[in-house]
């Protein structure tokens, strides 16, 4: 997979939801790096509230991140005009949301055909291809029904058909099988697998489902807006509290799961003890003994002023207070 070109990449991605509530601003994403190759399937797993849906919207250009860069097919989306962004998305990516997001005044058939109409395909050809895809997904008999007349599972299958009709190179999906019964869910995953293996379609899927995570080539574990681990195909997302695989990027930066950091003694200065291939021992030193490191006076994520407080966690956004050189 490493020799394939990159279709989606994000660098130092931050997103802050501004709030005037007592709890202050919420930092949903904290400096994420993401890389999806052509034809690769990646799952993002983690608890509710960890930032998964925000990440998906930022990666798809549906939401502008507070900081950082997102590139789709080699083009920096943050620098494109509205029209350029729409054209790039139409040629490259499709979205599948848990809610379906169907147009309420259009029939199921017209909802599926709509993306082709935007690409100037004739109405007759658009409807023919839409009906073909609906037959493949087992919902052709509901072609004339409005979304309000469809069950949740039928709406989701219509939304999936709409996403697939443009033959996208990348599919971004938020809980794509969440509203489906187990049998339909497996049929959809079978279709995804065919697209992945036969047509080299890349996927980035946000999921709580073991079966969806197993479909992916690798899974990224997201907690509190940070990636804390990367897992292979056999990840058990019902139990992510045991052994962890740590992600170390090309710059040598490593992210430790919060529970591991706590067991090590918390943030501070660590020196390398024993070092050999595949084995690393870290020796912790008390923060007070470093002499030249002090707690930052303001939060690097939301600019909260700590004043004379010695708090280790930002009361506004929950970020860990960094240490800086005195």
Query: For 100-137, what is each residue's pLDDT tens digit?
Result: 689 999 999 999 999 998 888 899 999 999 999 999 88
Average pLDDT rounded to a whole number, residues 165-185: 85
Note the pLDDT of residue 282: 72
269 strand-pairing partners = 285
Note the pLDDT of residue 55: 92
Note the pLDDT of residue 63: 87
More confident residue, 323 or 37: 37
Average pLDDT rounded to a whole number, residues 161-174: 91
Mean pLDDT is lowest, of 160-164, 208-212, 296-300, for 296-300
Max intra-chain CA distance, the chain: 75
Structural contact between residues 143 and 107, judged by C-beta atoms closer than 8 angstroms? yes
Nearest to 111 by CA among 100, 122, 97: 100
Helix (H) or strand (E) holding 70: strand 67-72
Structural contact between residues 236 and 251, judged by C-beta atoms closer than 8 angstroms? no
Burial class (CB in 10 A: 0-12, 13-18, 19+), 278: exposed
Domain coordinates in residue numbering, the chain: 6-231, 265-325
Whole-angstrom distance, CA of residue 241 vs CA of residue 251: 27
Homologous superfamily of the 6-231 domain (CATH): P-loop containing nucleotide triphosphate hydrolases (3.40.50.300)
């Amino acid at each position: 997979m490493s020799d394939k070109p990159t279709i989606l990449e994000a660098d130092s991605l931050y997103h802050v939801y501004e709030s005037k509530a007592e709890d202050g601003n919420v930092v949903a994403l904290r400096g994420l790096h993401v890389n999806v190759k052509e034809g690769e399937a990646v799952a993002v797993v983690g608890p509710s509230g960890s930032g998964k849906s925000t990440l998906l919207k930022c990666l798809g250009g549906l939401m502008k991140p507070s900081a950082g860069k997102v590139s789709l097919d080699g083009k920096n989306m943050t620098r494109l005009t509205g029209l350029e962004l729409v054209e790039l998305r139409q040629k490259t990516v499709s979205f599948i949301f848990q809610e379906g997001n169907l147009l309420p005044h259009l029939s199921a058939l017209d909802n599926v055909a709509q993306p082709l109409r935007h690409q100037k395909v004739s109405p007759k050809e658009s409807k023919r291809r839409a009906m073909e895809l609906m037959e493949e997904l087992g919902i052709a008999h509901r072609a004339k029904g409005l979304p309000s007349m469809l069950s949740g599972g039928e709406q989701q299958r219509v939304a999936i058909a709409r996403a697939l009709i443009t033959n996208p190179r990348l599919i971004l999906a938020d809980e794509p099988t969440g509203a489906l019964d187990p049998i339909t869910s497996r049929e959809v995953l079978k279709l995804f697998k065919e697209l992945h293996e036969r047509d080299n379609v890349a996927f980035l899927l946000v999921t709580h489902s073991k079966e969806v995570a197993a479909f992916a080539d690798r899974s990224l574990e997201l907690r509190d807006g940070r990636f804390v681990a990367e897992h292979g195909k056999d990840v058990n997302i019902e139990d992510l509290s045991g052994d962890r695989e740590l992600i170390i990027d090309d710059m040598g930066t490593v992210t430790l799961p919060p529970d591991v950091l706590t067991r090590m003694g918390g943030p501070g200065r660590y020196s390398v003890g024993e070092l050999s291939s595949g084995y690393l021992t870290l020796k912790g030193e008390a923060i007070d003994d470093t002499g030249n490191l002090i707690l930052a006076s303001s939060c690097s994520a939301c600019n909260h002023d700590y004043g004379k407080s010695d708090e280790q966690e930002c009361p506004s956004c929950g970020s860990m207070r960094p240490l800086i050189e005195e």
